[in-house]
A and B are shown apart, each in its own frame.
Chain A
Amino acid sequence: DAKTTQPTSMDCAEGRAANLPCNHSTISGNEYVYWYRQIHSQGPQYIIHGLKNNETNEMASLIITEDRKSSTLILPHATLRDTAVYYCIVRPRSNDYKLSFGAGTTVTVRA
């Protein structure tokens, strides 16, 4: 599976947009980009996923570059409850959701 690179940590202000980058320069054509987050002492929570088009749901937006080598997760209006570790994961279509977690980005939302 392609590897991902994320910043170790980032702070953002409550009410502002949080932009979380992820590099996946070795991604192949049949691999999806998934984002999960893990709030302290809980199981990971699905956020969003995409293949090549930008995606939006009630939680976030996912912007994938045209060459698919990187993506950005956007939390439009961060709240204190969005404080968590965010994981960007690349998953092959045939993988059956066997996910490989990297270190993720620790996001701290401050009032």
Chain B
Amino acid sequence: GAVVSQHPSWVICKSGTSVKIECRSLDFQATTMFWYRQFPKQSLMLMATSNEGSKATYEQGVEKDKFLINHASLTLSTLTVTSAHPEDSSFYICSASGRLRAFFGQGTRLTVV
């Protein structure tokens, strides 16, 4: 079946630095990908819609200058958390629109210290 891969699986960074998370669709092309964030004991919250070749669409309350999304190819979307702070520590998950369903990556655990 279709596979979506995220990298890295986990990352620890210092406060004030930037972190890039990659989301790849390995065996299909995805014009649309989505980025979610999940805090402990909470559900997934949609952050933004990543569109290949155009600007991302952000959900209300999500700072587009802090969470930079680039979708430069049909198989890769990246999320960069800029000037990360401890409150950005979370589980970040991407999904790609495939045939008949959304396929999710395995998630990236970000810890900002």
Contacts and interface: CB of A to CB of B under 8 A. Distances in A.
B98 to A, nearest CB: 8
A44 B46 contact: no
B106 to A, nearest CB: 5
A100 interface: yes
The secondary structure that dominates the B interface is strand
The secondary structure that dominates the A interface is loop
Contacts of B45: 101
Contacts of B49: 98
Contacts of B107: 41-43
B104 A44 contact: yes
Interface residues of B, number: 24
B97 A46 contact: no
Given A49-B101, A96-B97, A97-B32, A42 B44 contact: no
Interface of A: 34, 36, 38, 41-46, 49, 87, 96-104
Given A41-B107, A43-B105, A44-B44, A49 B100 contact: yes
A97 B102 contact: yes
B103 A98 contact: no
B43 interface: yes
A100 B46 CA distance: 7
Contacts of A87: 43
Nearest to B6: A43
B27 to A, nearest CB: 15
Given A46-B102, A97-B101, A41 B46 contact: no
Nearest to B33: A97
Contact of B34 (A45, A46, A97): A97
Name the residue in A43, A87, A100 with the highest tally of chain B Cβ atoms < 10 Å from its Cβ: A43
11 contacts: A43-B106, A43-B107, A46-B101, A46-B102, A46-B104, A87-B43, A96-B97, A98-B49, A99-B46, A101-B36, A101-B43
